[in-house]
Chain A
């Protein structure tokens, strides 16, 4: 691999001539002005939250966001009364009674499936 760094050269006579060029002094109020500005910066730095404080606040916010995401996934989207039913509809007792009554009245064959659950009790799908 070739060395791509340029070879250093300093034009010393030109440098000496450039250094001889006059440079103005600062305006008389320069140092007082600078001291005033630096003092204001010091005051502002005291009231400004430090880097450590800013980092801590960011960490707390990140943990809170993760906790919220986990809670949403664990609990799931809350179901309401208006949520549409999922799967085959289970008929209530009143519906079954009404179907039986109408079947007996017309003497037609009554066909249905009786489902019995230990905790949920009996139900039927007409």
Chain B
């Protein structure tokens, strides 16, 4: 329970943003914690405990969503890594609900990538392990997610400014 208490806030945040429902969040995390307990004797410490636990929780969320896990990774060359420096997120965020709504419109894989790396501070390598994809795929998902979040927020900001 100590491990659960330590990682629960971050896992709750990820699960809620992926599932968009507090009941489903609770169900997925119950499953994740039970699965983690069951496979704890097989945990060899090859990855960090947090990464391992997040991976179990992410898979539990995917099971809860019934989402297809197959995705088509973008080639690295097509990834524009840095966003437009002219644009500041805080400037464009009219309200938290706008960001939440923009986030909800993202595909679940992109949402997970941006939440893990930008919100929770995971390294690309750890995020790749959690999402079970190559690091390049994490980068491409992040790029798309950031671009879409910024576009959505920019539109909202322009709409508010034009009124």
On A, residues with C-beta under 8 Å from B are: 4-27, 30-31, 33-35, 37-38, 41, 45
Min Cβ gap A25→B in Å is 8
Alpha-carbon distance A8/B23, docked complex (angstroms): 35
Complex contacts, A41 vs chain B, CB 8 Å: 34, 37-38
Complex contacts, B69 vs chain A, CB 8 Å: none
Q: Are B89 and A17 in contact (CB under 8 A)?
A: yes
Q: Are B149 and A6 in contact (CB under 8 A)?
A: no
Complex contacts, B96 vs chain A, CB 8 Å: 17, 20-22
Q: Are B30 and A13 in contact (CB under 8 A)?
A: no
B146's nearest neighbour on chain A, judged by CB, is A11
Q: Are B99 and A21 in contact (CB under 8 A)?
A: yes
Q: Are A18 and B1 in contact (CB under 8 A)?
A: no
Does B107 interact with chain A (Cβ within 8 Å)?
no
Complex contacts, B25 vs chain A, CB 8 Å: 24
Q: Are B119 and A26 in contact (CB under 8 A)?
A: no
| Contact stretch, chosen from B43-51, B54-62, B80-88 | B80-88
Contact A11:B118 (CB < 8 A) given known A5-B135, A17-B99:
yes
Q: How many residues of B contact A (CB 8 A)?
A: 47
Number of A-B contacts (CB under 8 A): 101
Does B144 interact with chain A (Cβ within 8 Å)?
no
Min Cβ gap A26→B in Å is 6
A5's nearest neighbour on chain B, judged by CB, is B135
Q: Are A14 and B149 in contact (CB under 8 A)?
A: yes
Alpha-carbon distance A34/B38, docked complex (angstroms): 13
Q: Are A15 and B93 in contact (CB under 8 A)?
A: no
Q: Are A8 and B124 in contact (CB under 8 A)?
A: yes
Q: Are B124 and A34 in contact (CB under 8 A)?
A: no
Alpha-carbon distance A5/B33, docked complex (angstroms): 32
Alpha-carbon distance A87/B116, docked complex (angstroms): 80
Alpha-carbon distance A26/B13, docked complex (angstroms): 11
Q: Are A30 and B81 in contact (CB under 8 A)?
A: no
Q: Are B37 and A38 in contact (CB under 8 A)?
A: yes
Q: Are B16 and A23 in contact (CB under 8 A)?
A: yes
